[in-house]
Amino acid sequence: MAFVYKKKKTNVRLGKNKGEKYIVATSNQGRVTDAELKEFIQRNSTLSEQDVSLLYRSLATIIEENINLGMGVNLKNLGVFSPNFRTKGSASVEEVTTDNIEKVVVNFRPATKLRDAIDNAPVQETRKFKLKHE
């Protein structure tokens, strides 16, 4: 199976090439849920569903606690979760306050293994496709 894309019509409003354009976009192939993940792990180990749930909850709590400290969390083959924020600039250092912060976010930086796997994933066009105007 491959990474599937679809063709999409869009309206480009910024830049030199404005107007109606066509781009490739990801085609929704569905989503794996917690229940499926837990079932897979249960089937391949001696762990119960409660054990796996508890592990995920502990992991999320650890990430939250570290974010509260301004610290990231490195999950080896998955990647690094770290806090970051969007901020407005000020003309002088005295004007810089925490009110300049517009939004706090969690950045996810994928691990090399994950990034390479995605970069090298086979890509194909979806077979079921029809542009809206056709």
Partner 1 sequence: MINLIPTKRTLNCNGVNKEVHLLKLNPIHPMEFETVKKLIVERTTLSEFEVGFVLGELSTIIIENLQQGRGVRLENLGTFEPSLKATAMDSAEELNLNTVKKVSIIYKPSPTIKKALKKLKMRINRK
Q: Which of 49, 83, 127, 128 binds partner 1 (CB under 8 A)?
A: 83
In our burial notation (b when 16+ CB lie closer than 10 A, e otherwise), range 11-22 reads eeeeeeeeeeee
Least separation in angstroms between residue 127's CB and partner 1 is 13
Q: Which of 13, 16, 33, 128 binds partner 1 (CB under 8 A)?
A: 33
Q: Which of 13, 14, 16, 91 binds partner 1 (CB under 8 A)?
A: 91
Query: Residue 49 interacts with partner 1 (CB under 8 A)?
Result: no
Residue in 1, 26, 3, 11 with CA at minimum distance from that of residue 133: 11
Binding residues for partner 1 restricted to 53-82, rule: CB under 8 A = 53-64, 66-78, 80-82
Tell me whether residue 114 is exposed, middle or buried, using C-beta atoms within 10 angstroms of its C-beta: 0 to 12, 13 to 18, 19 or more: middle
Nearer to partner 1, 32 or 127 (CB): 32
